């Protein structure tokens, strides 16, 4: 079986393990196997941006994805190794502006840009003796470890066994958890409440039936929104946590207003990297 190892980085970021060719491989610890096949990608209910239309069918190969958003503890562990091995980053993985928006080491890492994310993926790969995915040119000889390099699609070693960001199609398929025609990554009901996700609840949408409004009462402090611990809420059908609410997550694909009008078998980057979350909660 050809599979891709994918892992989630949480925060304003989502992380994935790079593609790996494996035969009869066991699922790595704390990862979930996302099966191969087609799914319908896009805004099912026509409630979001017009750029999320038209809906279209996309095929993805099998891949592994980390069950949990990347925690601050994991980020720090790899970050410390990386800075001792020739890597440099723009941010240490926290956001403090009079208020510290991250609560602890078991919460998702925050305020990491796209460049830092893909460098971090490379660092984690090298730390674990895996082959890095991202390079500074099409020859794929120099591992991307510093600066802000506009890594192109053909600079990525897609058959490496290291970590990488998921494509938007991979992220959306994983987030849906094997269900379709639903707003959220659970299939028992088309509603959302604070018992299911950490988000900013309001009365604008009939499907938001939370008895508590505004920021999640368990995690908000003094009118400020805070993250919830990775894995705090129930997982989706693929055993992935926090695929709705909590933090936004980075994808590999870059933003294009015409992305959904093109017929991609394997979606490719466009112009600017962007984040994903099932809905713009939090």
Q: What is the pLDDT of residues 33-48, one digit of tens each?
A: 899 999 988 777 666 6
Instruction: Give the pair of three-digit tokens for residue 223.
Output: 């009118």
Tell me: the pLDDT tens digits for 175-223?
999 988 888 988 888 899 999 999 999 999 999 999 999 999 999 887 7
Quote the number of domains for the chain. Answer: 1
Mark out the alpha helices in 47-113 (DSSP H runs).
72-83
Q: Is the pLDDT confidence value at 270 over 60? A: no
Percent of the chain with pLDDT over 70: 74
Tell me: the pLDDT tens digits for 232-269?
999 999 999 999 999 888 889 865 566 555 555 444 44
Count CB neighbours of 98 within 10 A: 5
Under 8 Å between Cβ of 156 and 268: no
Any idea of the CA torsion for 74, 77, 82, 83, to the nearest 10 degrees? 130
When pLDDT is cut at 50, 70 and 90, the band that residue 53 belongs to is: low
Average pLDDT, stretch 117-139?
A: 95
Closest CA to 280 of 218, 220, 204: 204
Q: For the domain that residue 2 is a member of, what is the CATH number? A: 3.90.1580
* Beta bridge partner(s), residue 236: none
Mean pLDDT over each residue of the chain, to the nearest integer? 81
Give the domain extent around 78: 1-282
When pLDDT is cut at 50, 70 and 90, the band that residue 11 belongs to is: very low
Average pLDDT, stretch 128-149?
A: 97
Closest CA to 112 of 17, 13, 16, 225: 13
**Cα–Cα distance between 53 and 275 in angstroms, integer?**
17
């Amino acid at each position: 079986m050809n599979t891709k190892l994918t892992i989630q980085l949480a925060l304003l970021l989502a992380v994935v393990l790079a593609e790996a060719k494996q035969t009869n491989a066991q699922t790595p610890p704390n990862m979930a196997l996302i099966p191969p096949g087609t799914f319908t990608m896009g805004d099912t209910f026509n409630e979001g941006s017009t750029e999320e239309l038209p809906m279209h069918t996309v095929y993805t190969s099998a891949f592994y994805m980390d069950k949990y958003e990347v925690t601050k503890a994991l980020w720090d562990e790899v970050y410390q190794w990386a800075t001792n091995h020739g890597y440099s980053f723009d941010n240490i993985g926290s956001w403090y502006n009079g208020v510290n928006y991250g609560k602890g080491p078991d919460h998702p890492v925050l305020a990491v840009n796209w460049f830092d994310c893909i460098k971090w993926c490379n660092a984690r790969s090298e730390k674990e003796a895996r082959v890095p995915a991202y390079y500074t040119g099409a020859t794929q000889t120099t591992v991307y470890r510093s600066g802000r390099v506009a890594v192109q699609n053909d600079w990525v070693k897609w058959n490496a066994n290291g970590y990488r960001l998921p494509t938007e199609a991979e992220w959306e398929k994983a987030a849906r958890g094997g269900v379709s025609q639903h707003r959220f990554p659970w299939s028992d009901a088309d509603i959302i409440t604070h018992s299911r996700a950490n988000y900013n609840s309001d009365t604008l949408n009939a499907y938001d039936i939370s008895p508590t409004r505004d920021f999640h009462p368990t995690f908000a402090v003094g009118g400020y929104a805070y993250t919830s611990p990775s894995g705090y809420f129930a997982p989706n059908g693929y055993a992935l946590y926090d695929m709705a609410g909590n933090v936004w997550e980075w994808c590999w694909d870059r933003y294009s207003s015409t992305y959904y009008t093109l017929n991609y078998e394997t979606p490719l980057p466009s112009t600017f990297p962007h984040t994903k979350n099932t809905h713009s909660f939090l």
